[in-house]
Structure 1
């Protein structure tokens, strides 16, 4: 019997494979987490499709689109694949703190429709807080 998916994390991507890899590495791997990466027609001169981040991982589904219609379209493609009770959206240049599961698991069975949390902007190179 297939284990229930509690969380579907949808990540649109275009032309930033190193940042996507960082994002994916920040997501804990658990049987109840589905990760969906939707590549929005990345440039083959920038992205190595043979070694695309997440490919071959059991809990990561990578979808390639040829339309190049933007992040919103890619999110909708991801939504069509989502199986989770809860949906999380991240951009490929985002990453999660180490307490991700502690922060979201407390709402797993809550009687709410939407959960949101504060995002912290950081400099991509230094990881120091950014003035945004």
Structure 2
């Protein structure tokens, strides 16, 4: 299973990738990991937050429904939802096919200095977590 080292991870199986700056804020793209989509099975529905919604780490920002179960999606950072992946409304299975690319979920605009994903797990630590479970 893939664990790209260009992003950070949560212990709830979300990934966060710093996409760049936007007017002094950092934009972080968020999705679920390959491990998570594999454990869920065929994803059939995704509920995402509204653009402009305030989010905080550890709080649910949506959910993913599969043929097996329904799982919450948790925000890895604090900020404001800047974009949602509209394609998932008609093609939620994109998450299964490409969880680290076209299957992204939301982009969050984070105010402040520094890397907002710094406190999250790096790829090695996340892989160790998955291997231990």
Please give the TM-score of this superposition, normalised by the length of structure 2: 0.30
Higher strand content, 1 or 2:
2
Please give the TM-score of this superposition, normalised by the length of structure 1: 0.30
Q: Which has the larger radius of gyration?
A: 1
